[in-house]
Amino acid sequence: MKVLQKISGCLDRLCGVLIVLAVSAMVVITGAQIVCRIWFTALSWSEEVTRFLLIWATFLGATCVYRHSGNIAITAAVSLCPETARRVLRIAVHLICTVLFAVLLYYGIMYCGKQVRTAAALPIQMKYIYMCLPISMGICMYHAFVMVLEEITGKEAQA
């Protein structure tokens, strides 16, 4: 169990670092675009790169939010239940989320496989941009699996 939690924590930290790098790159590229537009020639690729970085940061951010249970939740009814019922409900929610993640993973892989076109301003195939969906859903599925095991065993994640 500790190994699974450690892998989940490593994935979470890796996604966090990648998000910070993506957002930092977005700020630098957008700043460079502003400077170039005012004093030089506008960068033809900056908006596209910024958009792609935002897409990746968003999907990787979803994995971090899910792992830390930061998503929106209605807890009023659940808080009235006894602890055993709450545990069962949390397990059920994670299992339902796992099904959703699996469906999105499947269709994300299918969609990436069908992409043959390249980006408008960059020589990057779009399948590499769209890979953020199956990668992030795979990570979310892993987090959900670990969280179900944590609920079953009663061992919370180590910080």
> Which pLDDT score, from 0 to 100, does residue 159 have?
45
Containing H/E element for 18?
helix 2-39
User: Letter for the amino acid at 118?
Assistant: T
User: Mean of the pLDDT values across residues 62-78?
Assistant: 86
> Which pLDDT score, from 0 to 100, does residue 76 have?
78
| Structure-model confidence comparison of residues 34 and 76, the more confident one | 34
DSSP secondary structure of 78-140: HHTS-HHHHHHHHHHHHHHHHHHHHHHHHHHHHHHHH---B-SSSS-BHHHHHTHHHHHHHHH
Q: What is the pLDDT of residues 10-27, one digit of tens each?
A: 999 999 999 999 999 999
Q: What is the pLDDT of residues 73-120, one digit of tens each?
A: 777 778 888 988 989 999 999 999 999 999 999 999 999 888 888 888
47 exposure class (CB count in 10 Å sphere: 0-12, 13-18, 19+): middle
Q: What is the mean pLDDT of the chain?
A: 91
Is the whole-model pTM more than 0.95? no
Q: Which of 81, 92, 97 is nearest to 137 (CA)?
A: 97
- For the chain, give every domain's residue range: 2-153
CB 104 within 8 A of CB 138: no
Q: Which residues pair with 118 in a beta bridge?
A: 125
| Structure-model confidence comparison of residues 49 and 155, the more confident one | 49
Rounded CA-CA distance 77/99 in Å is: 23
> Which pLDDT score, from 0 to 100, does residue 73 have?
77
Instruction: Inform me whether the pLDDT recorded for 155 exceeds 80.
Output: no
- Alpha carbon of residue 72 to chain centroid: 15
> Which pLDDT score, from 0 to 100, does residue 63 have?
96
